[in-house]
Amino acid sequence: MKVKTILVSQPAPSSKNSPYYELSEKQKVKIDFRSFIHVEGVEAKEVRAQKIDFSNYSAVIFTSRNAVDNYFRIAEEMRFKVPDEMKYFCESEAIAYYLQKYVVYRKRKIYVGERTFQDLIKVIKKHKNERFLLPSSDKLKPIVPELLDDIKVKWDKAILFKTVVSDLSDLENVFYDVLVFFSPSGIQSLFKNFPDFKQNNTRIAVFGNTTIKAATEAGLNVNIKAPTPETPSMTMALEKYIKEVNKK
């Protein structure tokens, strides 16, 4: 069956140069965006209940923009003035640049990984004397604590925000040829919103091994997978599939 409509379970890209818009125009398909999950910050009293005192840490590890926002939000709520000498370890350049929203970038000690958490670990290893705080959601990739424990640094996790299922009830009678997922939480949201969901002719596109596993365990047939050596991005995987099925 041909692909004419796609729903991506993420917010719409902010850049007009997004490969999704290019794909839509090039392959003449309609692409909609909708967050299947969203983030909600926890209250300061919940952080205190975790026995987290921000003043005990000399360095903060940021793995997302949400972590940045919620760290500074909670700091303000707790009336904790973040010291100028605080060290920031950011998983990517994008997260490091985002820090400018809260600190004067050139005056702070900011260390950046290349792209993955494994890259950042190499940087953290050089600063073993620091005590690290990891602002996190309630859903943390297992590899993060594993790698931090492996290099034997002093660190604590602070759950500052939670991943919550979004209300998708308005999509109940709306059907797409392809649904695109990027996390196990997205799969959970689908079935939380629509417990009787039947795949039928809907194609499922999935990014990452943990999401593929979650989709398969939920009884879904995964038709489009990324990343692969041939299609390292989701848009490339979608384009390859669309070209194959739409030419018939």
Based on the fold, state whether residues 57 and 44 are members of the same structural domain.
Answer: yes
Same domain? 119 vs 141: yes
DSSP letters along the chain, please?
A: ----EEEESSPPPS-TT-HHHHHHHHHT-EEEE--SEEEEEPPHHHHHHTT--GGG-SEEEESSHHHHHHHHHHHHHTT----TT-EEEESSHHHHHHGGGTS-GGGSEEEE-SSSHHHHHHHHGGGTTSEEEEEEESS--THHHHHHHHTT-EEEEEEEEEEEE---GGGTT---SEEEE-SHHHHHHHHHH-TT---TT-EEEEESHHHHHHHHHTT--EEEEE--SS--SHHHHHHHHHHHHHT-
Q: What is the pLDDT of residue 141?
A: 84
Can you name the residues that pair with 101 across neighbouring β-strands? Answer: none
Total number of domains in the chain? 2
Q: What is the CATH number of the domain that holds 94?
A: 3.40.50.10090
User: What pTM does this model have?
Assistant: 0.78
pLDDT number for residue 248: 66
Residue-level pLDDT at 139: 86
Quick one: 45 and 157 in the same domain? yes
Determine the length of the chain: 248
Same domain as 145, residue 191: no
Residue that finishes a domain, picked among 129, 163, 197: 163
Co-location of 150 and 230 in the same domain? no
163, 178, 197 — which closes off a domain? 163
Is 81 in the same domain as 49?
Answer: yes
According to DSSP, the β-strands at 37-41 and 154-165 are antiparallel
Whether 228 and 190 map to the same domain: the answer is yes
Asked which of 163, 189, 219 is the last residue of a domain, the reply is 163
Residue appearing with tokens 């050139």:
106
Q: What gap in Å lies between CA 169 and CA 109, rounded to an integer?
A: 45
| Each residue's pLDDT expressed in tens, for the chain with a length of 248 residues | 899 999 999 999 888 889 999 999 999 999 999 999 999 999 999 999 999 999 999 999 999 999 999 999 999 999 999 999 999 999 999 899 999 999 987 778 999 988 789 999 999 999 999 999 999 999 888 889 999 999 999 999 999 999 999 999 999 999 999 999 999 999 999 999 999 999 999 999 999 998 999 999 999 999 999 999 999 999 999 999 999 999 86
Structural domain range at position 74: 40-163
Q: Are residues 146 and 234 in the same domain?
A: no
Which of 94, 51, 41, 50 minimizes the C-alpha distance to 72?
A: 41
CA distances for 154 relative to 47, 141, 197, angstroms: 19, 19, 45
